[in-house]
Amino acid sequence: MSPLPPIESAEFISNKADDVKISNEGIQVLATKLESLITSRSYSLSSWKQHALHPQKLDRQTVDWIFFIDLMNFSFWSDDPAVDYSVEYQGEKHIDYWALCSVVRRALDEGIPLLSADYLAHASDADVRHIFRSASSVDLSQLETRRQHMNQAGTVLLEKFNGSFSYCIEACGNSASRLLELIIANFPSFRDEGMFNSVSVSFYKRAQILIADLWACFENRQFGRFDDIGVITMFADYRVPQVLLYHGVLQYSESLLHHLQAKHTVDVGHRWELEIRACTIWAVELVRRELEKRRGGQPLQCENTAQSFPLNSIMIDFYLWDSAEVLDLNDSSTTFPMHRTRTIFY
C-alpha cells in the first residue's frame, strides 16, 4: 500500500503524538508576527535569488544546479557541535546549506563538470572527497552515500531524461504533484518514508524542496511553473522545528527536551523523530490557514514595493528557515535544541 501523502501523514501523526504538541496560542501569535514581519521586510518570491550563492540565470543548467543541490541537501551537522563542516569560497567560509552551495560554485569554477549527468554517473570516492573538501577539521558526513546517490541519479538522468532533470520537469505538465510522483518513482534516494503506528507515512522533504526551489528560482515561470504549487508542504528538517520551538508553536515533553538538550541523537524512524517532523509540517499548515483566513485568501503585500508574499507553506518555510540565523538558532543551541538524526532525507 502506498504511504499517506505528506500533508495527510502530518495530520495523522500530530493527532496521535505523545511527546510533541502544537500550541493553538502559538499558532495565533506566530501568524501575527509573520504578518507584520513579512510585510515590513519586503520578503517575496524573488527573495530566493537574492542570496548571493544561488544561481541567477534561468536555463537548463540552473535546473541541474538545483537538482544537484537537493540531491545532496541533507545532514550538514557535525558530531561535535563546537566545530562545523565549512567550505571556503572566494575568501569567505560557509556552513550548513550554504556550504553546499559553495561546493557547487567552487567545483564549477575549477572546471569540474558537476552538473553533467555523465560525471555524476561515474564520480568516484576520490572525486567526492575532493569536491566536498572542508575548510575545517570536520568532513561532511556520509560521503560514500553521497557518491552512491550521485552515481544513481546520473545514471537515471542518462537513461530516462536525456541527461538533464529539465526533461523530467517537461514530463510533468506544469504539475507539482505529478513532478513529485516522477521524482519518487525514478530517484530512490528521495523516498523519504516511514512507519507510524503501523501506518505507512511520507515526508518527501528533499523532493518537495527541489520543486519549491525550482518554483522560487524561476518565479513560477518556465521550468518553475507549477499550477498546483499549493500541494507542496513545508520541508521537515532539523532547523524549522527549532524556530517553531522558539516561537512556542511546538512544545516538547520533558523527556524529549532533556534528550535533545544533552545533544543525544534520535534514530531515524524513532517515534520522536516522526512526531517532530510531522508536527512541524502540520503547524506550518495551520499557520498558513490562519494567515489565509485573516487575509481572505489574498497574498501579503510588502510595504513600499509592488511585491507580494504568496500564502503557501513553501514561503512560510523559506521565511522561518532564513530567520533561524537572525534568531541565532544553530546546532549548538541548548534552550531551543535541534534534533540530531543522521539521515539522508534532511
Cell of 338: 535541534
How big is the chain by its Cα radius of gyration, in Å? Answer: 19
CA 178 – CA 186 distance, rounded (Å): 12
Please state, as a whole number, how many other Cβ atoms lie within 10 Å of the Cβ of residue 84.
21
The yes-or-no answer on residue 237 being catalytic is yes
Burial of 76 (0-12, 13-18, 19+ CB in 10 A): buried
CA 284 – CA 276 distance, rounded (Å): 12
Chain-centroid distance, C-alpha 213: 9
CA angle 191, 229, 305 (to 5 degrees): 130
CA 140 – CA 100 distance, rounded (Å): 10
Question: What 8-state DSSP symbol labels residue 340?
Answer: B
Catalytic residue among 64, 70, 192, 237: 237
Question: What are the residue numbers of the active site?
Answer: 237
